[in-house]
Structure 1
């Protein structure tokens, strides 16, 4: 049987092929059963859906007691059907277990309903500047591979465009919106009718609060313990500072394991870097305090028992200050 849009084409006296009938209108709707995985590294997403297409072919109109006829899928090879393909598709396939998951129904007015179950893997350009508090917009764009707008026009089904299964759940995202639109793209071979749907995905924060944000806050608080350690306990303060710095470095690298190597910092990177700065500042604070409290800078090291009953605290302090001034004066004379 001849292809539907080609049947209305005739050749004029110049040999130019023209179309004398309006383009075939293909109505489309999608029922999404599940989504995932969604990969930030590959910037792709997958979904399992029922992809339904409907068009009118007057040559297939019939009369009878039944309003619809369920046709065998072998009839698809004998009738015209749109050559729909996904522009941003990466790797998609039709389910074939236990039989090919598709059916064809024919209505009395010649309307054909063609439904198939597909798993679609499509590209999703992601902007990760607000990660992990981001909202990603993953598009799905499809249309005719060979027919221009003069032959085939795609439209969304007015009754249902993009439906989401009630029991669908995502592990890391919430599907908050599915806006759809019609558009026409100008290519070298002509204008093509296309349909576009965008899946707006909002990321969950719970996993990152447990694995990144919580441990980072606890490490910063742990580094502040060194403020209560005696400044003479050099080994304890240095070991605590180095341990927290190394642990913070490990957390920062681990947080970027599932992310692509993008050239810009994310919101998570800023938080990790700020936490690292707080921890590093505790080590710098100890180094500054240790440097300015050495001999000659006013620090007193008592060489006798200040708890002795023979000397009071005031006398011990004055004696310490006199020793320090003599030491400072002697150092000044040697340098001059």
Structure 2
């Protein structure tokens, strides 16, 4: 008897909990049934017409319907310079008041009703005016929902991916900043019937770990862009995304290799003038490499009508490499001219030596004593005159410029051209770098627009 009493108590306790659970389950079933009844009540046949827009403020039909919009930027996959477009994935939300959808919240237990079919209620006819391509996400189920609140507020949320046009000004490329817009407007309802507004507080949110390969999102601005056409004025919203291009990639891939090619072309100035194959090969190779580098850069950019910052850089670098090749042509011409001049001097000296030998042989045929007596004072006087002139030269040496004195160390014109090029080319290239970076790094971008 004592053992049966605990068993009976346990059985009664278990039955009590099962009764409570069954009652709660029944209440939930009844509550879900109540949701179905409310949906049938407000959206049933003949009760709600999704073709008619909601009333305006305070239920007036004359006032436009106000739709508040906010966005959540999930990712920005790419920014294409050539096509001037960018791709973005976002969660788009709209909220408006439709008093026809009011219902009893069952004492606060029913916070909202959820729908997955957008065609059941009236929807704003919003479209993205600068869209090129777009699609919804349907994995695993369509990423869309509609929430109806007891006071008639409707919240519409959907996840979409868009490819949007982004007209770019590439005058400062790759030291530029680009502003890409996201424009949303009404397609058929004018501002007399429908007005879009940004949600108060924080209308645009951006994911924290947003990463772009060649850009940085500096900031974003929200604004209005209402447009007037022949059919009326239409409400419009826009988001301006300000992107700054990451310069480190272009510094490593473009600027430093171009500098190296220009410096390699200067090696030709230190080679001997007679090393024609080496200097020609070096000049032609650097010129072709620089031209290939320039064409590769322009292949990834649209053919615009204005000059970009990268065009200035590659053009000047190509000019320096081409100038080094032309310098060798000038050196080669000067070397041949110097050789011809040396040959002329050598032949002139040989002719003068032959003439002096002929004159000496003629003098030997005359009277040696008389000739010697007559020439002795002259020779003595000539020797004295030459010594006096040498003394005057040493006492009053001609003043020479330091540059001319330094250049006099190099006897041939070809060598002088090489020496001048060794100094002139690096100096001019350094001045160009100073002017280039000071111009494009500190230029106000607004002046270029």
Q: Which interval holds the TM-score relative to the shorter structure? A: 0.7 to 0.9
Aligned with residue 73 of structure 1, among 116, 121, 125: 116
Tell me if the contact between 1:46 and 1:122 (Cα under 8 Å) persists in the aligned partners: yes
* 1:117 aligns to 2:159 (yes or no): yes
Distance in 1, Cα, partners of 2:351 & 2:261: 41
Tell me if the contact between 1:183 and 1:196 (Cα under 8 Å) persists in the aligned partners: yes
* 1:60 aligns to 2:101 (yes or no): yes
SS at match of 2:226: strand
Tell me if the contact between 1:30 and 1:162 (Cα under 8 Å) persists in the aligned partners: yes
Match of 1:23 in 2: 64
* 1:51 aligns to 2:92 (yes or no): yes
Structure 1 gaps, min length 5: 10-18, 302-320, 330-336
Name the larger-Rg structure: 2
SS at match of 1:250: helix
1:2 shift after superposition: 2.5
Aligned with residue 286 of structure 1, among 328, 332, 335: 328
1:194 shift after superposition: 0.5
SS at match of 1:178: strand
Tell me if the contact between 1:296 and 1:328 (Cα under 8 Å) persists in the aligned partners: no
Distance in 1, Cα, partners of 2:350 & 2:287: 38
Tell me if the contact between 1:139 and 1:199 (Cα under 8 Å) persists in the aligned partners: yes
Q: Which moved more, 1:190-199 or 1:55-64?
A: 55-64
Distance in 1, Cα, partners of 2:347 & 2:248: 57
Match of 1:15 in 2: none
Match of 2:82 in 1: 41
Distance in 2, Cα, partners of 1:181 & 1:328: 93
Give 1:172-187 correspondences, 5 Å limit: 172-187=214-229
Tell me if the contact between 2:226 and 2:233 (Cα under 8 Å) persists in the aligned partners: yes
* 1:163 aligns to 2:205 (yes or no): yes
Distance in 1, Cα, partners of 2:151 & 2:254: 61
Greater relative contact order (Cα 8 A, min sep 6): structure 1 or 2? 1
Residues 59 and 181 of structure 1, relative CA distance in 2, 3 Å threshold: same
Distance in 2, Cα, partners of 1:326 & 1:55: 107
Match of 1:108 in 2: 150
Tell me if the contact between 2:77 and 2:87 (Cα under 8 Å) persists in the aligned partners: yes
Distance in 2, Cα, partners of 1:121 & 1:296: 67
SS at match of 1:132: coil
Aligned with residue 315 of structure 2, among 270, 273, 292: 273
SS at match of 2:160: strand
1:4-56 deviations in whole A, cap 9, x for unaligned? 764669xxxxxxxxx84311110001100100221112111110000010001
TM-score of the pair, normalised by structure 1 = 0.84
Distance in 1, Cα, partners of 2:69 & 2:171: 35
Tell me if the contact between 2:169 and 2:178 (Cα under 8 Å) persists in the aligned partners: yes
1:120-178 deviations in whole A, cap 9, x for unaligned? 11111111111111111111111111100011100001122111100111011001111
Tell me if the contact between 2:134 and 2:162 (Cα under 8 Å) persists in the aligned partners: yes
Match of 1:2 in 2: 49
Give 1:177-326 correspondences, 5 Å limit: 177-296=219-338, 322-323=345-346
Moved over 3 A (4+): 3-9, 295-301, 324-329
Tell me if the contact between 2:273 and 2:335 (Cα under 8 Å) persists in the aligned partners: no
Tell me if the contact between 2:54 and 2:98 (Cα under 8 Å) persists in the aligned partners: no
More strand by share: 1
TM-score of the pair, normalised by structure 2 = 0.63
Tell me if the contact between 1:298 and 1:324 (Cα under 8 Å) persists in the aligned partners: no
SS at match of 2:299: coil
Tell me if the contact between 1:5 and 1:24 (Cα under 8 Å) persists in the aligned partners: no
Residues 322 and 133 of structure 1, relative CA distance in 2, 3 Å threshold: same
In angstroms, what is the RMSD of aligned CA positions?
Answer: 2.3
More helix by share: 2
SS at match of 1:97: coil
Distance in 1, Cα, partners of 2:119 & 2:140: 20
Residues 158 and 243 of structure 1, relative CA distance in 2, 3 Å threshold: same
* 1:97 aligns to 2:97 (yes or no): no
Tell me if the contact between 2:66 and 2:197 (Cα under 8 Å) persists in the aligned partners: yes
Structure 2 gaps, min length 5: 1-47, 353-449
Distance in 1, Cα, partners of 2:111 & 2:349: 111
